[in-house]
Amino acid sequence: MSKVEVSAIPLAQMRTHRSTKWRDFPGDVLPMAVAEMDFAIAEPIRALLLDMVSKSDLGYLGSVPEVATSFAYFAKKRWNWIVDPEQIHIVTDVGVGAVEVLRVLTTPGDKILINSPVYHNFSTWIDETHLTKVDVPFGDAQSGWAIDFAEIEKAYRSGIKVHLLCHPHNPLGRVYSREELLKFVALAKTYGVYIVSDEIHAPLTFSESEFVPFLSLGQDAQDVGITITAASKAWNLAGLKCAFALSQGPVMHAKLQELPEATHYRASLLGAFATATAFAEGSDWLDGALKTLDENRRFLKKILSEKLPTVGYEIPECSYLAWLDLSSLNVGQSPAEFLLNKARVGINGGETFGPHTGQFVRLNFATGQDVLEEAVNRILKAL
Ligand SMILES: Cc1ncc(COP(=O)(O)O)c(C=O)c1O
């Protein structure tokens, strides 16, 4: 039994929200694309923000050691991972953090490895830093999205500078195992590759899976790795703008010291204190949110098996993004376009995440079960 019950805000109320999820589509569309949750935020964070706003405490961001100390506290408690607060650098968001870290680690033209399908902004960060993208895709769904280590080694050997990891993985919903991560570490050490691990979804790992922080893997991982993460995904605070990059050891610590000083000040005051509160006082809410998301990922499985049994869906190990194979529905080249036009369900098309997954869509299930059922009913009716 969770100490905090987290349930979805009713759809009519969500439709008054100002975030991009609620402005991207016309009012008759069910928006299930952007990765925000339709849940009320944790009470300690709400109280903090109300207090700051009511006191007009909205100035510039100075030193906020609470972000680092609270994350170190959370990492120890949640993952038994000892983090050095001195090696945490605040950045605006994970996107800005990734771009700034890549600027430190690379020069334009360097090769960077990704594994598609993957969070689409990996490509925008690569374009922004003028790097050359090399893609070693996962195997197909039948292979369980197998990691192609042989091709990855081949790519590393060809002179990759950075391997950008999505850990846990969006949109596949998988958590890399310790063995898989150690293989990356060994290869990275051999071929002189840096690994940047985007761990924004990590606190949302479901209890049956183990999330292994990249930098907890020991000295070799610490020599090659930088992690970028935030409280924003797990506690639903994306609009507040605060994330951080961290290292664990002298080699990468020295690299992070090269981040421009201004990177810190470009995060927001509300975001930094909300982040500190999330990690320090937000675990009960997080457990409540995970319980609701666990129910939703299973509910989605149940209604899909009843109403759209040919749709492929593996229950994800983390977060709230369902990766659905719609190829059996034969709805044309872009299932996402079909769903928007014919079912009025707004969803991310698989082509956004990589060149081989056009028949997939990504559906956000951090909403009410009534909304999930309505979405499935709309799709069924449109076929
Ligand atoms: C893997 C991953 N990284 C980063 C982000 C975005 O983070 P931010 O808003 O802090 O840039 C997302 C958002 O969904 C994501 O899924």
pLDDT tens track for 184-198: 999 999 999 999 999
Chain segment 325-343, per-residue pLDDT in tens: 999 999 999 999 999 999 9
Crossing angle between the packed helical segments 43-54 and 269-281, to the nearest 10 degrees = 150
> Which pLDDT belongs to residue 201?
98
Q: What mean pLDDT do residues 123-147 have?
A: 97
323 lines ligand 1 (CB under 6 A): no
Q: Mind giving me the DSSP string for 229-278?
A: E-STTTTT-GGG--EEEE--SHHHHHHHTTS-THHHHTS-HHHHHHHHHH
Q: What does the DSSP 8-state code read for residue 22?
A: H
Please tell me the distance between residue 199's alpha carbon and the centre of ligand 1 in angstroms. Answer: 9
Distance 93 CA to ligand 1 centre (A): 8
What pLDDT, on the 0 to 100 scale, is given for residue 166?
Answer: 98
Does the CB atom of residue 238 touch ligand 1 within 6 A? Answer: yes
Write down the mean pLDDT value for the chain.
97
Exposed e or buried b per residue across 345-356, where buried means at least 16 C-beta atoms within 10 angstroms of its C-beta:
bbbbbbbbbbeb
Each residue of 352-381: pLDDT tens digit?
Answer: 999 999 999 999 999 999 999 999 999 999
CA of 94 to the centre of ligand 1 (A): 6
Q: How many CB atoms lie within 10 A of CB 318?
A: 25
Specify the residue with its C-alpha closest to ligand 1, atom 13: 35
Q: In angstroms, rounded to a whole number, what is the distance separating the alpha carbons of residues 319 and 314?
A: 13
Nearest CA-CA partner of 272 in 104, 48, 24, 78: 48
Q: What is the pLDDT of residue 289?
A: 98
* Whether residue 170 has its Cβ less than 6 Å from ligand 1: yes
Establish how many alpha carbons lie within 13 A of residue 358's alpha carbon, considering only the half-sphere containing its beta carbon: 9
Testing ligand 1's pocket by substitution, the residue of 125, 170, 266 carrying the most ligand atoms inside 8 A of its CB is: 170
CA of 95 to the centre of ligand 1 (A): 7
Confidence of residue 1 (pLDDT cuts 50, 70, 90): low
Q: Are strands 321-325 and 132-135 parallel, antiparallel or unpaired?
A: unpaired
Q: What does the alpha-carbon distance between residue 133 and residue 118 come to, in Å, rounded to a whole number?
A: 13
**Does any ligand 1 atom lie closer than 6 A to the CB of residue 240?**
no
The atom number, within ligand 1, closest to the CA of 241 reads 10
Average pLDDT on 253-276 reads 97
Helix axes 283-307, 65-79, angle to 10 degrees: 60
Of all residues in the chain, the percent with pLDDT exceeding 90 is: 99
pLDDT of residue 87: 97
Say how many Å lie between the CA of residue 117 and the centre of ligand 1.
15
Test site for ligand 1: of 93, 99, 200, 244, most ligand atoms within 8 A of the Cβ = 200
- The one-letter code for the residue type at 303 is I
User: What stretches of 95-218 adopt beta strand conformation (E)?
Assistant: 111-114, 132-135, 160-166, 194-198
Looking at ligand 1, which residue's alpha carbon is closest to its atom 5? 94
**Model confidence at 158, in pLDDT bands (50, 70, 90)?**
very high
Task: Extract the tokens encoding 46.
Answer: 């709400």
Q: Domain locations in the chain?
A: 11-43+283-382, 58-281
| Residue pLDDT, tens place only, 214-225 | 999 999 999 999
CA of 330 to the centre of ligand 1 (A): 31
Question: What separation in Å is there between the alpha carbon of 232 and the centre of ligand 1?
Answer: 8
CA-to-CA dists, residue 24 to 114, 145, 247, 334, angstroms: 28, 30, 36, 18
CATH for 11-43+283-382 is 3.90.1150.10
CATH hierarchy code of domain 58-281: 3.40.640.10
Query: If you average pLDDT over residues 50-75, what whole number do you get?
Result: 98
Per-residue pLDDT tens over the stretch 68-111: 999 999 999 999 999 999 999 999 999 999 999 999 999 999 99
- 2 pLDDT above the threshold of 90: no
Alpha carbon 110 to chain centroid, angstroms: 25
Distance, CA of 89 to CA of 101 (rounded, Å)? 11
Q: Confidence band (pLDDT; 50, 70, 90) for 128?
A: very high
| Structure token digits, residue 341 | 């036009």
Gap from CA of 124 to ligand 1 centroid (Å): 12
Q: Among 136, 131, 123, which residue's Cα sits nearest to residue 102?
A: 131
